[in-house]
Amino acid sequence: MPQQRGHGPADRPRGRWLTPATAGIAVASVAIGAAAVWFVARDTGDTDRAGEKNGTVTSGAPTGSGGGPSTATGAPSAGAGPTRTPTPSPTGTGPGAGAHETRQDTAGFTIAVPAGWAREELKEGVFYRSADRSALIQVFRVSEPELSPLQAVKQASTYLRGGTRGYEEISVGPVSGSPGAAELVYQYDSEESRGVRRGVERVFLAADGTKWALLTAGPVAEWQVTQDHHAAALAAFRPTG
């Protein structure tokens, strides 16, 4: 949730995360609640604008933004459990896709991520990033019961369009074969990806009824690899309490 849906996953902020008030996006609080605004911006003067979402969560998961500005240091956190079971790429053929490993994350879920990716936990959710930071996976729990997955991704696209440099919505809608799930595919200008970054965000209901957002993004030239990472993460995803 292209925030919060960070949502568009965007380059990781190196300064303060602007709240809806400071970003001048008052309409967001009317649409989905002040704590559920899927928009991230940096006030450091960097050329990239938001691509990562501000996750809205319930107790036991990362805290959503909705108060005053907060700083994000970007230091990796040791929140993943010891289980790292290598698994093959969903397609097994994507260039550079490599192996995935299962992580039991202390934020309350199990997921498969590319081997060697570093974990970071910020107010906006849990991130797994490639060594060169050109690609990422972001996970956060969506706590608004009134917000359907389809409404969530559509709102995310609306906010990203207004505040993300080079933003382009590629597709948005329900996911075939996955009742209740919806996805947004988009791209935007990214310094970390050294050009255009393309992302896909899915909002879905887990088996226990909780609602989650899982966003995967990387350089547009490596779109197939990004899709492989996204598929592997979704296939292994399980809430753990």
Q: Give CA separation, 201 vs 77, 122, 225, 227, in Å.
A: 23, 18, 15, 11
Which residues is 120 bridged to in the sheet?
127
- Whether residue 10 is contained in a domain is answered as no
So what's the pLDDT on residue 54? 52
List the chain residues with pLDDT less than 50: 1-10, 12-49, 55-78, 81-96
Q: What is the pLDDT of residue 113?
A: 98
| CB burial readout 149-180, b (16+ within 10 A) else e | bbbbbbbbbbbbeebbeebebeebeebeeeee
Question: What is the C-alpha separation between 160 and 170, in angstroms, rounded?
Answer: 13
Contact at 8 Å (CB) between 214 and 138? Answer: yes
pTM of the predicted model as reported, rounded to 2 decimal places:
0.69
Whole-number pLDDT of residue 199: 98
25 within a domain of the structure (yes/no)? yes
At 40-83, the pLDDT tens digits run 322 222 334 355 655 433 222 222 222 222 222 233 344 554 44
DSSP bridge partners of 105: 80, 109
Its domain, for residue 134, covers 16-239
Residue 3 lies in a domain: no
User: Number of structural domains, the chain?
Assistant: 1
Q: Which residue has the tokens 């896709």?
A: 97
Q: What is the CA radius of gyration of the chain?
A: 16
Q: What does the alpha-carbon distance between residue 205 and residue 147 come to, in Å, rounded to a whole number?
A: 12
Q: Are 170 and 161 in contact (CB under 8 A)?
A: no
**Residue with the two structure tokens 């906006």:** 124
CATH code for position 186: 3.40.1000.10
Distance CA 193, CA 203 (A): 24
Residue 8 lies in a domain: no
Assigned domain for 210 exists: yes
Q: Is residue 96 part of a domain?
A: yes
Q: Give the single-character DSSP code of 125.
A: E
pLDDT tens profile 13-33: 333 223 222 222 223 332 333
Q: What tokens does 202 get?
A: 């899915």
Q: State the burial class of residue 26 (Cβ atoms within 10 Å of its Cβ: 0-12, 13-18, 19+).
A: exposed
Domain assignment of residue 9, yes or no: no
